Structure 1
């Protein structure tokens, strides 16, 4: 059950990444439900705002990868980490590539860089939380 919940959360975060990447207005003025301070911050930190949703993406991708590989005795965590960064890069590349089809949007390679960095921060956060959790369980 936990594996399905993590996968579902990862799917929701991915869909949110695509939704916000493919908005016709890059200033997100149409998103009236977001507080003004978030809109102001995202307009001042244009590339950084791309990396923010990739932090939970990286976190849940690391959790899902660990659950999928938990039955393997010799788990190569470095290889899984690199694969997860590749997946994050592919998701960011698709999100940025979709902007070619939106007249008012312009894809930016720096967004892919920030997405990969955000995903790495999420994966490191998951690793840290996991180490603290297992240390306290002993």
Structure 2
């Protein structure tokens, strides 16, 4: 998988996190950008924090693929996780500038968990692939 493609996926994922975090209205169904079923699920009160973990899970997976492909040392995995937590922290901080949005530590926690899960899954899968070659 070309590195340029992975960089593009990571940049697109980070951009989407910022976009959906900084839209003025927290109700995603009002944006008409997502399928109805996904918007309804994301807008349920019990899923408000969990919905932050989903894009960070995918970002963790793609970042993990990049780390495996480029054969980064273990230290880089921790730095990558901190970077992804920084992305969700910045996204949450930006919500302080939106009158209908609010900063939520729960979103940061779920984002950190999602990115860790993505990195762990890809790290385990990537390690299996390397050992079976």
* Distance of 1:49 and 1:33 partners within structure 2: 15
Q: What residue in structure 1 maps to residue 6 of structure 2?
A: 6
1:87-106, CA deviations, whole angstroms, 9 ceiling, x for partnerless residues?
A: 01110111001101111111
2:101 equivalent to 1:99? no
CA-to-aligned-CA distance 1:99-120 (integer Å, 9 cap, x gap): 0111111110111111110001
* Structure 2 unaligned residues grouped into runs of 5+: none
Partner of 1:49: 51
Once residues 62 and 35 of structure 2 are traced to their aligned partners in structure 1, the CA distance between those partners, rounded to angstroms, is 25
| Matches for 1:8-23 after TM superposition, within 5 Å | 8-23=8-23
Matched-pair contact (CA < 8 Å) for 2:93–2:103? yes
Instruction: Give the match's secondary structure for 1:104.
Output: coil
Which residue does the alignment assign to 2:120?
A: 124
Structure 1 residue runs of 5 or longer lacking an equivalent are none
Alignment match, 1:24 = 24
What pairs with 1:77-88 in structure 2 (closer than 5 Å)?
Answer: 77=74, 79-88=75-84
Q: Compute the displacement of 1:40 (Å).
A: 1.7
Q: Distance in 2 between matches of 1:65 and 1:96?
A: 26
Instruction: Report if aligned partners of 2:22, 2:94 keep a CA contact under 8 Å in 1.
Output: yes
Q: Distance in 2 between matches of 1:67 and 1:15?
A: 23
Q: How many residues align?
A: 131
Look at both structures and tell me which one has the larger radius of gyration over its CA atoms: 1
Q: Scaled by the length of structure 2, what TM-score is found?
A: 0.87
